[in-house]
Structure 1
Amino acid sequence: MAGGVRATCGGPLARLLILAVLHVNFVALGLEPDFLFPLENVTIAQGRDAMFTCVVNNLGGYRVAWIKADTKAILAIHEHVITNNARLSVTHNDYNTWTLNIRGVKREDRGQYMCQVNTDPMKMQTAFLEVVIPPDIVYEETSGDMMVPEGGSAKLVCKARGFPPPKILWRREDGGDIISRGGPQGKTKVLSLEGEVVNLTKVTRSEMGAYLCIAANGVPPSVSKRIMLHVHFHPLVQVPNQLVGAPTGTDVTLQCHVEASPKAINYWTRENGEMIISNDKYQMGEINSSAYSVQMRLLVRSIQSNDLGGYKCISKNSIGDAEGNIRLYEVELPNRKPKVEDERSSILNEINDVRSSLQGPLREGGPRTAEDAGFLGGAAPHPAPRFTPPSMFLIIALLHAAC
């Protein structure tokens, strides 16, 4: 019997009796349920989990209920979920705190939520659940890559969805200016433009390139789409040097600058129309300068007389063709004396230098030697023996060599 009483005391009926007693006691004492903290608004990104926490003191035998205020739908009473939504749950810390949990929040979960106590009159507090959505490009309504003729117009459109509604910003991928024409201020250049639509008029080849539409609404991450604008035009060939001279036996490089869109086929010919192909004699190459311009180069190795004459650089695309002309001529090197003559001239200059040093300076003033004194009437001394200095043998040898 005692065991049965204990079982009954621990069952649901016993808990209801306890709550009823507490309720009577709270009423007798004049203690009413009250909210300890306000219910706080929640802003959450779609797909994340959200929760509201309601703290009630002196609950007694009353019940806490959760209600979707804007639809008046009862979500849960105490810990029991009423609505048919598997993403909702309620937890209770067995004291005074009730928490409403919403897993994987969706856009339709947005709205006002109420924590309510069934007193008379009813007590409640509310909070708002804001569900934000990162931006997303609406590709079916957004422009793709496009082609326009030079001088034509292009309309770039970018649509995005999300909450709050995203703002659209346009930039050029290369950091260049976006050129706007036809407005009240005429032609203007800006680094960025805001809005879903960008109208480009009288498009030039310099406006060719990738344009980025960037959608942002403060909810990360921002998204963007790359739109390539192709501007088509007739090939243009510019020749920096139409006359190129070089000595025979040397290498020379011929150059042409080409602008074309769509991409052109570029090649070289001789003036008689013979096409040039890469081999041991010729080497052709191209260097890209931009999306529509290249530098054509033709290297001619060890030029000979038959390499002189006219050369053509030709560019062709689907719109048209163009060509440039270059003439290669021979440049003669300055004449130089043969090496033997240079050596002979050097030897003669050395001989003249030696002769000048042997003659010595011209004498001025009175007699300075015995020979001079005899010439002037004095007694003539015995003549000194004469000999050929060793340096004279060198001079004679150099003279023979020079002759």
Structure 2
Amino acid sequence: MELLLSKTSSFRIEASTSAQSITALDQIIAVYLGKGVTLDCFASGKPPAQISWILPDRTFVREVGTVHAPLSPMSLLQNGTLHIHSLNFSSKGDYKCIASNAAGADTITYHLHVAALPPTISEEAMDTVIIQPGIVQTKLSCQATGEPTPRIMWISPRNDVISVSSDKFQIMDDGTLVVKKVILADEGKYACVARNSAGDDVKNMKLESQPGITGEVKLCCNWYSQAGYLMDVAWAHNAGST
């Protein structure tokens, strides 16, 4: 049986020490990179069983406390549970629990796989964002999923990586890029890059300005009339006459 887990997970086995027989099936589990996992090994018998573990690199663990091994940081708890704090790719392999006393021994093996999902940028991200006349700032949205959680960075139209400490730009926690004090020079193609240890994804977005009138406009109307004639002048536009 294979299980895929996205959060810290717990498994329980019952190992009888009164007879040398395996009372639980071996487990095949997959856990996302960077997550934690708890491997339980509960045993019953008289006298009480001694719990020990054999790690994938053949390290033998019996002492309660922090495990000093080349693999991921882990701890052996008083009840025999082995807790792996943060998985990396070297964490994969077989973890064997041994419950033993004077009457015999029982074992169970966890076959641990480490999984990762490459980033995927949401399809809701807009291809083009229009700068409206008079707008002070605008936002480019870029949300991504993946395991481990992707890191978002932005590339400017000048092909520079936008700094998180920039005065001109702000990158929010959800990956959204805020462009401050928008001017025409800010137009161009921006690239959102979502990256984790499993790969990356890129989404290009265009920032364009919408033509508009921002200052005072004067419209002139010159006319000529003969002496003795009075003329009325009126203006009209598509919203009505004035």
Higher helix share: 1
Q: TM-score, normalised by structure 1?
A: 0.29
> Larger C-alpha radius of gyration, 1 or 2?
1
TM-score (norm 2): 0.43
**Which protein, 1 or 2, shows the higher relative CO under an 8 Å CA cutoff with sep ≥ 6?**
2
